[in-house]
Every structure is written in structure tokens, then in C-alpha cells.
A and B are shown apart, each in its own frame.
Chain A
Amino acid sequence: MVDFSYTFLIPLIPLVVFLITGLLGMKWKPMVSGIIGTVGLLIAWLLSLYTGYEYFLAHTVEHYQTIIPINMLWLSFTNSLQIHMGVLIDPISVLMLIVVTTISLMAHMYSLGYMKGETGFARYYAFLSLFTFSMLGLVLSTNIFQMYIFWELVGASSFLLIGFYYTKPSAVAAAKKAFIVTRFADFGFLVGILVLSFLTRTFDFSKLTEPGTTIFASSAGVTFMGVSALSWAMSLIFIGGAGKSAMFPFHIWLPDAMEGPTPVSSLIHAATMVVAGVYLVARLFPIYHFQTPQVLIMIGYVGGFTSLFAAIIAMTQFDIKRVLAYSTLSQIGYMMVGLGVSGFGGDHGLGYMAGMFHLFTHSMFKALLFLGAGSIIHAVHSNEMKDMGGLRKYMPITHITFLTACLAISGVPPFAGFFSKDEILAAALESNKLLYWTEYITAGLTSFYIFRLYFRIFWGKNTDYGHHTPHESPWVMTVPLIFLALGSAFGGWIPFHDFVTPDLAPMVHKMEWLDTIPSVLIGLVGIFAAWYLYKKESSRPKAVVDFLGNLHTWAYHKFYIDEIYLFITRKIMFGMIATGIAWFDRHIVDGFMFGVADVTMALSGKIKKFQSGNLQEYAFVYVAGALALVLTLLYVFVK
């Protein structure tokens, strides 16, 4: 058995970097903080790669082990209620370790160029390190309580980074929105954790997810409102995951979160934090599968609905980062579908494997899309599609890498997205036709909106850029683009079914090339439609919009979900419920408190004369007090 105890260093390094740059960053040149952060993460990345090599490749095993090299007792309330802090190594945590450190390293390096000269550069790197630490702590958690702590920490660091430009009102509003919406969902998560641990008497993943475990036996008969308590717990836990992963109806925070710096969007809101919900479901997959299969199906439907819904909105948006944000929602929906349709053991675990595979490939191409978008924004100083066009001549590297990512997300072979997406479709086809068709249509919409984006940015008319001609970004920004483009191009060839399966045993799986033809075709249809409408400036898009009429208006306004939220919070919660509570607080609660204060002050004035300064009186009170006590005790004694 290999000793993995060094892995605690991987989250620790960003934490140390955070403390150093956070405390001392103001004292030295901004770039120093950036370099410390990047070098620190490089070390963490190398350690993660080494861990991946040791775990997956160095030793051939029939069955992967769940290894817990470190698990120290952190809080001990009673003998049965104890909370540990530790490191858990298993296929999905190692996978996430690699994903998080890779994307984070790319974001760190990229930001050296992208954020150069910004005020608060050192603060930015400190927050970035804090986020990386929290995310790594989350994926390595040995128990659900530790995960919850880091879960909140990623939420907090996401809040800090979205609101990085804190002088900008829209950024502050977006940060608050993200925090409040996810925090609201996290409340469900917390209640779920409490119910789950109450039923099972443990927080530990290793005990909870052991196949064939008997810890759920005692809770079998416990029901609440006709549904078993365990189903409630697992649904509530999923609500936490849905909040972080921005599943419908908690999706509203993610598009606004694009107010943060673009590398942050790429790291947190595309590749890592938003897939925490997927990771959570994968982590607890045995419980979902064996104990509460109906909740798992619900997860699949939530994912399926979100993926279609978000893809439709993505087709109508003009802010390039918002298109990518809705695309992220849609793709995370795919992952949830993968998990939702999955079985357990042997080939039945295909959906699970595909979901995690898609998590991996998506992190590559979506991070690349965001970083590419950042490179474009850096060059043209705008987020709006109308300010772009014909950029392929000015920015060749950005263009090629962006195109790679577009092909990957559209599922064109042999790019990475093709493999993972196709396996999700294959898994859905076997178990749930409705979800299969939803995802099949979404695949077409995906390639349409992404190539709409591509053609409008890089082709079409040459916008007049004035005296400021766009130019290619510096090497610190293009190197991450190229690296991620390689990942997006070839990442699909990794034999994932050998590594990540629900039962930890490599899966015997062969891809049927013929079966992939329909999904490739729909992707190509989408690309063709985008090419037809957007290859150059024309009236064709407008004709389509007019033809769709209200449908387009609704989609453009994101189906008015934000307005519904505003109506509920402003009108109903603030206007009706909160006003009553405020009245009660002001008049009854405060009135009582003021009364107490007045009585106290009056009493204080009344007894003032006892402190006269007169010695004889002091002595008298002393003796009288002692005698009063004696009489009291004698009375008690005699009784």
C-alpha cells in the first residue's frame, strides 16, 4: 500500500499562500503575490499529478481501494458525536484533485497577464488561494461534516471573488445574490446532514457509502409526510448540491456571477465549484442508488430539465460570458443526468462513469472557453457580441484554441466532449428514453449556441476597432489556452472506465462507434445552422427571431425566473411577512426591552443611597447580612 499521507500538503499549500499573501501582500510589489501564488499552486499540481499516477497507474489493481491516510479527531462532543478532519483518497477525489489543481494553476497563470495592473492584485491572488484551499479541502473530505465546512468556505471565497470589483454596484449585487441563493440551498444541505447523521449515527463517507451496509436498517420505518426520512435527508442534501451547481430553480445566481473577473468565472463558475453538487451526488451515490432510488431519478430529471432550459436561454443571449454561463448550467445538467440514470456495478455504472468523465472534459473545454473569452474581452474591452467580429485575424492563438473548445463541447469526434457526452447519451438510452431525447435535443442546441458565439466573435464583419486594434494576449495568457486546448482535444482518449466507476472496479466497456452517429449528426446540424445564420452579417437571424416571436422574447428574458424571484422576495416576503414581523419587533420586543432598561435604571437610582461612604453603616449592613443568612439557613435546617 502506498503511503498517501503527504496529500494533506495539497490543500495546505494554498492555505499557507493565502495567509502569506493575505497578510503581507500589501507590503511588496503586487506581482510578487501573483508569483508566490502561481508557484505554490504549481507544487500542489505536481503533487496531485503524482498522486494520480500513484493511485491509478503505478499499481495494477483489480479493485481500487478507498484510502484514508489521515483522519484526526477535531471536535469530540460525546463518544458517539465526533467530527474528524482528514483526507480521503478514492478515484473521484483523485480525479477532482487533478481537475481542481490543473484549472486553478491555469487560472493563476492566466491572471498574471489578465489582472496585471488591477488595484487589489495581491488581494485577488489571496482570494484565489483561499478558494483553491477550500475546494481541495472539499474534495478530500472524509466525512460529510468536513465537507459542509469547506462547502461554506468555497461559498465565501466565491462571494469574495465575484465581488472583487467592489466599487461596482452590479458586482456587489451579484456577489450578494450568489451568496444568498447558495446559502439558502445550503440550509437544506445542513438539515439533510443532520437528519442523515441522526438516522445513521455517523458522518463518515466510508461508513455511509459502503455497499451492503446495515446502518440504514434502523431508519427503514421512519417517515415524514408519507415519505421516508432518509429520502427527505437525501433530497435536502441534493438541494445543497443543486444550489452550488446552479440547478433549476437555484440557477439564477450563476449568470450574474459573471461580474467577477473572467479567470474566476473560468475556475469557480465553470470548472470546479459549480460541479461540487455533481461531486456530492457522486460521493453519496451508493446511498442514492441503494436506499433512495426515487431521489436519484428526481436528480436526473432536475438535471435534464436544467440542461434543456439553459441551452434555450443560451441561444438568445448577447453577453458572451452569459452565453457561457448558461452553457455551464446546461452541461452540469448533463452530468446530473449521467448520475441520475446510472446503475451500480459492472456495465450498469456507465452513467456514473460518464457523468464524472463529462465533469473532467467539461472542466477542460469550459475553462478554455472562459479563458478564451477573457482573452477576447482583454483585447476589445467589451463583453457584448455586437462589439466583436472578424477577430480571427487579430488573435490567431485565441481563435484556434477557442475553436477546439467549441468542437469539444459540440461533441465532434475526436474531441474530448464527444466521448463523455456520448456515453451519457448511451447510458440514458438504456434506462430512460425521456431523458435521452431531452439530452439529444440539448446536444443540438449546444452546438448551435456555441457556434453562434464562435461565428459572431471570429467571423462576420470586421467591426471598426478604431485606433485600438485588438492584438493577441501575452504568453502567460496564451500558454494556459494552449494547454487546455490540448486537454480539450485529446482528453477524451483517457480510458475513464478503467478508473472511475461506482463500485471502484474497472469496467469492461466498449464504445459502439455506430451508435454514436445520431449524436454526431445532431451536433453537426447545430453547427450548420449556426454557420448558415451567422457566418456573415445578414438578415437571417432577425427573420428567425421574428418567426419565433414570443418564444424568443421569453427565452431572451430567461423565462422571467428572476422576476418571479423578485416578486416573491420583494412583494410577498418583504412586503407582507417582513412588515408584520418588523412591527412586532419594533413595538413588542423593543418596547419590552426599553421597559426593562427603564426599570433597571430606576432601580439603580433607588438603591444608590446604600453606598453612603459611612463606615458604621457598612459594618451594620455586613453584620445584618450575615445574620440574615444565618436565619435563612437555620430555618431551612429546622424544616
Chain B
Amino acid sequence: MTNFQYVFLLRHEILLTLAAVVILIAELFTADHKKTSVITFSLVVFTIVTLASFIPAAPGTLFGGSFQGDRLTDLMKDILNVAVLIIFFQSGGYLRRSENSEKIGEFFALILLTMVGMDFMISSGDFLTFFIGLETASIPLAGLAAYDRFKSKSAEAGVKLILLSSIASGILLFGLSMIYGASGSIYFADIAQKMTASPLMILGLIFFISGMGFKISLVPFHLWTADVYEGAPINITAYLSVVSKGAAVFIFTIILFTVFKNIIDLWEIALYALAVLTMTIGNLFALRQDNIKRFLAFSSIAQAGFILLGIMGTGSLGMATVVYFMLVYVFTNLGAFGVATAIYNASGVETISGYKGLYATNPKLSLIMMLALFSLAGIPPVAGFFGKFFLFTSAAKHGYFILVLIAVLNATISLYYYLVVVKAMFIDKNENPIAFFKSTKGMRLSLAICALGIFAIGFASGIFDYILNISKLLF
């Protein structure tokens, strides 16, 4: 392997780092009254980064096995890049507010730096790289959550996130040290070979699961989610619920499938319990929310419970269903968040009851919201249906029929609260609905992409086949 190929394998990480640095420098050299031009600049830079990262590279490992790149990890990173690009397009309206003019560069740079951490985490080949990647991805998030630092809710969100996140990291690290103690190695491949069930290993496994459960918002490790989602700026909430969660889901699945392969029986019991709890509690809380951000927070918790079903299918099918679901979830959830962002930017309305009568004034936005909610609820023929269907198939193939039954019941309950939003927009009467407004170009573009994705991913059966094929190479 030549040096160039080494560098090329790291293309996601290098490009993201460069982009973050370039954006910060560019902001430094921009006159104060023209700071908003940084937004456009960052969009251009990141679009180039996203496109350049699509260039395929040969699989390989670096740094003595600490870093591994293959087609599956590349795909995961590309999915995250696309998600972030959509979020960036949706952020323009928020960042153009006068109070944000002095910290535009930070917004982009911090997000990109967390992305670097996530990409390293996804490609990690040992627990040390994994942990460093995880922390790189976590710490700036607290800063992002507190981005509206003069708003007490946002500041509260930042503090809560950093405190709870450090508890989670501490427990995770404790668990990793136990795994090291039980196996004598930090490398995934070595540990996988020596993996046997022992009380020490079980302790390590559960602490690892709880640490990841924090990032993915699995019940009972989820309690930060609603408060932070509500307090953080809405674009950061979107980022937390899609990208941050997605990266954690990817590496969680990879590590469970590789490192803990020998003790599948044990972790599947844990996931079974977590899946039931997460789906059910997430749904029960979502039923009563009126704040759209809290609503989407609990909805995303419930969705995380469904993802566990895919993981429990194990093997290439399990992996493929999880990746496919995340791909669908990116477009679906960002579609919903995009509409919520557009409405918040234009009118400051953040509540579902405030959405009443929206269809009369803003029919296009209402339709996209409806599409996204249908996809979240899993109504055919939109992509969300296929995503959920495959997850359930994966679990059912492994014989978890009762679990699938519970999931189906939960999906039915979720249908109720998703449709409540649709009903508010389309059916409920309102004396003073949100007035008609025109969203930014970037927002319109991002929503068009989301709507297209929600349809196209479901219909293009080749996508799932592709993901299945590349995960067959590995699992």
C-alpha cells in the first residue's frame, strides 16, 4: 500500500478536518458586517467535501489495525455527510439572525469536528481509538447545545449534556477496562478471539451497552434526551437526533457483531429488554408532548427501539437493515425537522397546537411534514415503511416473534401521535394560523431532497440490495 492510499483511506477524516480549519480561518478574515457570507462559503466547502468523499477507495487497515476502512464504513460516513449537508442547508435562516453573527464559523467547525470524531469511531479497530473518537464527537456537542448561550434553556441543555455525558463516558470507560482485564487486549480482533462469557466480561458488556445506550437514547439511558433536544437550537436538535445517534448506532452494531460475536446470547437478552422498554416508554411519552422538539425527541427514542430489532437479527441481514433504516431515517427525520425549523424561524411557533390550520396557509410545508410523519409511522409506500419492515423481518428471521409483535403494537401506537400532528395541520380549525411565509432557498432545496429521498429510497429496491451485498462481504 502506497502512502497515497493510506491518506486516501482517511479521506473522510482529513477532508472534514481541513474543512473545519478552512472555515474558521475564513471567518477570521471576513469583515464584521459580512459575516453571513461565511454561511455560503461553508456550504460550498462542505458540499465539495461530501462529493469528494464519495470517491471509492480500496478497503484496508491503518496504524497497525487501529483504523479500518471498508465499503460499509465508507457508506456509513457518506450517509452521515449527506445528513449534515442537509442540516447545513436548513441552518441558514437560523444563523442569519443578528445574535449569531459573531459565531457562525463555530457552528460549522464544531459540527465538522464532531464528525471527525464519529468517523474515527466508526472506523476504529480498537477500543482506544473508539473511545477517543467517541469523546471527540461528544464534547463539542455540549458547546453546540449551548449555542444560544444567553437563553437559559439552551445553557441548561449544554450543562445537562456535558454532565450526563461524562457520567456515561465514565461508566463506558470503566466497562472497557473490564473488557481489557478479561481479555488482555484492546484490539477488536484479539478480544473477539478470546471472548468468553465471564462475570467480568458481562459487567464490561453492560457498561459498554449503557454508554452507547446514552448516545442512542435507549431507555433507561435516555433521560437527557428530551431536555437537551428542547433546549438546544433546533438545527442542533436535528443533528443530535440524526447524525450523532446514527454514528453511535453504526459503531454499536459493528462492535456487537464483531467483538461480542461469541456471546450473542447474552447481549441479545440485554437488547431484548432495552428494545421493549425503549419502544414502549418512548411512545408513551411521545403521546403527551405538545412541543414539537420534545415530540420529535421521544419519537426518535421510540425509533431507536425499533433499530434494536434490526440489530438483534445479527449477521449481514441485521447490519443491512440497520444501515438501510438509518439511511431512510436521515431523510425522514430531517424532513420533519426541516419543516419545524422553517416554521420556527418564520413565526417562532414550536408547539403542535400552534400548527393548527397550517395546510390552509402553507400547503407545501404541510405536505412535506405529512410525508415525513407518514414515513416515521411506517405507512406504505413511503420509505419508512420499508425501513421498518426490514427491521422487523430481521428480528423475525431470528425467531423473535413476540418482540416483533410488541414492536408492531408500538408502531400502531406511534401512528396515533404522528397522525395527531397531521390532523392539527390539515383538519383542525384555527382563527389565527401561522401566516404564509417563504422559506430560504437552502431550506427549500433541503426539503425537496428529503421528500425525494422519502419516496425514492423506498421504491429503488437496488439500494437495499447494495447495502446487503456490501455487508455480506463483512459479516
Contacts and interface: CB of A to CB of B under 8 A. Distances in A.
A605 B289 CA distance: 11
Contact of B168 (A601, A603, A607, A622): A622
B224 interface: yes
Contacts of A610: 223
A636 B266 contact: yes
A222 interface: no
B441 to A, nearest CB: 26
A611 B202 CA distance: 29
B220 A622 contact: yes
Interface string B195-213: 0010100110111011000
A508 interface: no
Interface string A596-613: 010011011101101101
A615 B164 contact: yes
Contact of A629 (B160, B167, B197, B206): B206
Contact of A632 (B160, B167, B171, B270): B270
B273 A637 contact: no
B128 interface: no
B227 interface: yes
B473 to A, nearest CB: 21
Nearest to A605: B288
Contact of B220 (A608, A621, A636): A621
Interface stretch (B58-66, B101-109, B279-287, B442-450): B279-287
B413 interface: yes
Given A603-B284, A608-B288, A611-B226, A636 B269 contact: yes
Interface in B296-353: none
Contact of B171 (A605, A607, A623): A623
Given A633-B206, A637-B202, A607 B270 contact: no
Interface string A2-37: 000000000000000000000000000000000000
B203 A630 contact: yes
Most B Cβ at <10 Å: residue of A604, A617, A624, A636: A604
Nearest to B198: A637
Chain A interface bracket (under 10, 10 to 19, 20 to 34, 35 or more): 20 to 34
Nearest to B218: A625
A273 B282 CA distance: 53
A634 interface: yes
Contacts of A630: 202-203, 206
Given A622-B171, A626-B207, A629-B209, 10 more contacts: A601-B287, A607-B284, A608-B288, A613-B227, A618-B223, A619-B163, A622-B210, A622-B214, A626-B206, A632-B273
Given A600-B287, A607-B284, A607-B285, A622 B164 contact: yes
Contacts of B413: 600
Contacts of A625: 210, 219-221
A623 B221 CA distance: 8
A622 B210 CA distance: 8
Given A621-B223, A629-B270, A607 B281 contact: yes
A633 B270 contact: yes
Nearest to B219: A625
A633 B266 contact: yes
Most A Cβ at <10 Å: residue of B203, B205, B223, B285: B223
Interface in B130-157: none
A601 B420 CA distance: 14
Nearest to A638: B199
B370 to A, nearest CB: 22
Interface string B219-242: 111011011000000000000000
Interface string B389-426: 00000000000000000000000010010000000000
Given A603-B284, A615-B163, A633 B220 contact: no
Given A604-B287, A625-B220, A626-B207, A615 B160 contact: yes
Contacts of B266: 633, 636-637
Interface residues of B, number: 35
A118 B177 CA distance: 80
- Which 4 residue pairs spanning A and B have beta carbons closest together? A625-B220, A618-B223, A626-B210, A604-B284
Interface in B157-207: 160, 163-164, 167-168, 171, 197, 199, 202-203, 205-207
A548 B160 CA distance: 95
Nearest to B205: A633
B285 A633 contact: no
A610 B301 CA distance: 15
Contacts of A633: 202, 205-206, 266, 269-270
Nearest to A622: B221
Interface in B258-279: 266, 269-270, 273-274
B19 to A, nearest CB: 35
Nearest to A611: B226
Contacts of B206: 626, 629-630, 633
17 contacts: A597-B416, A604-B287, A617-B223, A618-B160, A618-B224, A622-B168, A622-B214, A624-B220, A626-B171, A626-B207, A626-B210, A629-B209, A629-B273, A630-B203, A630-B206, A633-B202, A633-B266
Contacts of A597: 416
Nearest to A621: B220
B282 to A, nearest CB: 11
A616 to B, nearest CB: 10
Contacts of A603: 284
A630 B171 CA distance: 13
A630 B274 CA distance: 12
B223 A611 contact: yes
Contacts of B226: 611
Nearest to A630: B206
Contacts of B285: 604, 607-608, 611
Contacts of A615: 160, 163-164
A625 B218 CA distance: 11
B308 to A, nearest CB: 13
Nearest to A627: B206
Contacts of B224: 618
Contact of B197 (A611, A613, A637): A637
B142 to A, nearest CB: 14
Given A603-B284, A610-B223, A615-B160, A634 B171 contact: no
A607 B226 CA distance: 15
Nearest to B277: A625
A601 B285 CA distance: 9
A630 B270 CA distance: 9
Contacts of B273: 629, 632
A632 B269 CA distance: 9
A12 to B, nearest CB: 20
A619 B227 contact: no
A625 B223 CA distance: 11
A42 to B, nearest CB: 33
Contacts of B160: 615, 618
A414 B266 CA distance: 87
A104 B323 CA distance: 49
Nearest to A616: B163
Contacts of B203: 630
Contacts of A607: 281, 284-285
Contacts of B171: 622-623, 626
A71 B208 CA distance: 52
B223 A634 contact: no
A274 B43 CA distance: 60
B267 to A, nearest CB: 8
A396 to B, nearest CB: 55
A639 to B, nearest CB: 11
A240 B413 CA distance: 40
A561 to B, nearest CB: 39
B259 to A, nearest CB: 16
Interface in B416-442: 416
A622 to B, nearest CB: 5
A634 B288 contact: no
Contact of A634 (B199, B210, B214): B199
Contacts of A617: 223
Contacts of A637: 197, 199, 202, 266
